[in-house]
Amino acid sequence: MLGAGMVGVSTAIAARQRGLSVVVIDRREPGSETSYGNAGIISSGSILPLNTPALWKNLPKYLSNTHPALRWNVPWAIANAGWVIRFLASATPSQTRPRAAALAGLIGTSLQLHRDWIVKAEAGHRMRETGWLKAWRGDGLAAAKAEQAALAEFGIRSEVLDRQGISALEPNIIPAYRVGLLHSQTASVDSPGAVVKAYATMLAGQGGAVRQSEIRRIVPEGDGWRVVLTGAEIRARHVVVALGPWSAELLRPLGYRVPLATERGYHQHFVPNPARKLLRPIHDADGSFLMTPMEQGIRVTSGVELTARDAPSNYAQLEAVVPMARSVIEFGEPVGERWRGARPTLPDSLPMIGQAPRHRGLWLAFGNQHIGFTTGPGTGAAIAAMISGEAPPFDTKAFSPSRYIA
Ligand SMILES: Cc1cc2nc3c(=O)[nH]c(=O)nc-3n(C[C@H](O)[C@H](O)[C@H](O)COP(=O)(O)OP(=O)(O)OC[C@H]3O[C@@H](n4cnc5c(N)ncnc54)[C@H](O)[C@@H]3O)c2cc1C
């Protein structure tokens, strides 16, 4: 298993549960990268990615490059015009429902597994079953109702709230919002990195190995694979690439050019006010940012920055939303450093889950965009089933790697 983020660790757990012998390799400790810095939402309702028809309506304001929801780097967009065009081309009504259906299957399986594993991994105390509140400062009623209807089509429950309803739910926040939509089947955790670590500890307890090393290359050898690490090699029958935003590089020497971009995002923690406790993550719909109560404090996470994965940080987007967050929650000084991560995203915003087209035993499990913390377990369960020659627990056709690589 290459990568010890939520996707890699989950895949290893699911493979081990099927009796396969597994080694997870990562240069860092489990859950130290993207799976550490996210908003910790285990979302029942994230079936509509960023590139839906609504994107066209919002495009004029995004083009200004000042909106907190989306910043984009012009030279990057020109150099990656192919990705941008395919991303926009997916934002059609005809492509929205099939993708939502595919994601609903992946998410449904993932939620069940999280709820089971988090207890078995002795991290159940980290999970809150308080839902996730999306909230509008202005008249968001039509948007809330439209989202509720879209979710209801897939049996996903939500509740539209007015100002009083929001105050009853979150009595300690400043009443900044007029309309809310509570995703009532969504859960959240107080430390996503700690949850991945707990899953990795559970895996080790079940006989899986976790090894810390840089992965340099993968080479087909006989009917298996040689994984070249720094100063060591491992041979395996199957290799799963679950390297999140780093996944495409390792595949290039094998002739696969995967159109994987990164939707970068930032977070910063703030000292919470114990007398004004936040009970669940809030998504501020106008500012396109999130506030989540975490072990380290209130975590404010930013919207999307479309640029190269390793380009220097630009904190402007995060800085723009912190005052907006303060107008909702009373919190104190910043805690620790600001963090930057990269959501790994394919043009249709669906992950790749399946075998590489030209290489037996090479499995691809990445591209989980904004919902990889949620969807790691389902992704892993599908890959482990496919390796074992079983039917995956949900329909994986839409996630086939062959839609982008041959
Ligand atoms: C700001 C922000 C907020 C988010 N909020 C949410 C949320 O609330 N809910 C949700 O479900 N998702 C959320 N996400 C998305 C989610 O965090 C990601 O989709 C998910 O973490 C991806 O997991 P992964 O295992 O694919 O990648 P990662 O967690 O990045 O794991 C990949 C691993 O590969 C390792 N690696 C890479 N290259 C090498 C190499 N050459 N050798 C050795 N190791 C290597 C890395 O060290 C890393 O540990 C958010 C993301 C961001 C940025």
The ligand 1 atom nearest the CA atom of 341: 53
Residue 104 CA to residue 113 CA, distance in Å, equals: 14
Q: Which of 1, 10, 23, 33 gets mutated to test ligand 1 (max ligand atoms within 8 A of its CB)? A: 33
The ligand 1 atom nearest the CA atom of 365: 26
The ligand 1 atom nearest the CA atom of 32: 49
Q: Each residue of 182-200: pLDDT tens digit?
A: 999 999 999 999 999 999 9
The pLDDT confidence band at residue 375, using thresholds 50, 70 and 90, is: very high
Q: What is the mean pLDDT of residues 241-249?
A: 98
pLDDT at 11: 98
Q: What is the mean pLDDT of residues 119-140?
A: 98
pLDDT at 265: 98
- Kindly state if the Cβ of 341 falls inside 6 Å of ligand 1: yes
Residue 219 CA to residue 228 CA, distance in Å, equals: 8
pLDDT at 209: 98
pLDDT at 6: 99
Residue 302 CA to residue 144 CA, distance in Å, equals: 21
Q: Each residue of 22-34: pLDDT tens digit?
A: 999 999 999 999 9
Q: What is the mean pLDDT of the chain?
A: 97
pLDDT at 51: 95
- Kindly state if the Cβ of 26 falls inside 6 Å of ligand 1: yes
Q: What is the mean pLDDT of residues 68-77?
A: 96
pLDDT at 404: 98
Residue 74 CA to residue 94 CA, distance in Å, equals: 29
The pLDDT confidence band at residue 10, using thresholds 50, 70 and 90, is: very high
User: What's this model's pTM, rounded to 2 decimal places?
Assistant: 0.98
What percentage of the chain exceeds 90 in pLDDT?
A: 100
pLDDT at 351: 98
Sole residue written with tokens 């996707």: 7
The ligand 1 atom nearest the CA atom of 375: 11
pLDDT at 244: 98
Residue 46 CA to residue 38 CA, distance in Å, equals: 14
Phi-psi region of 168 (alpha: psi -120 to 50; beta: other; left: phi over 0): alpha
Q: Each residue of 297-335: pLDDT tens digit?
A: 999 999 999 999 999 999 999 999 999 999 999 999 999
Gap from CA of 36 to ligand 1 centroid (Å): 7
Distance of CA 52 to the CA centre of its chain: 17
Gap from CA of 34 to ligand 1 centroid (Å): 3
- Kindly state if the Cβ of 377 falls inside 6 Å of ligand 1: no
pLDDT at 145: 98
- Kindly state if the Cβ of 35 falls inside 6 Å of ligand 1: yes
- Kindly state if the Cβ of 305 falls inside 6 Å of ligand 1: no
For residue 314, list its beta bridge partners: none
pLDDT at 399: 98
Residue 75 CA to residue 96 CA, distance in Å, equals: 29
Q: Which of 24, 370, 379, 399 gets mutated to test ligand 1 (max ligand atoms within 8 A of its CB)? A: 370
Residue 121 CA to residue 113 CA, distance in Å, equals: 12
Residue 135 CA to residue 124 CA, distance in Å, equals: 27
The ligand 1 atom nearest the CA atom of 188: 8
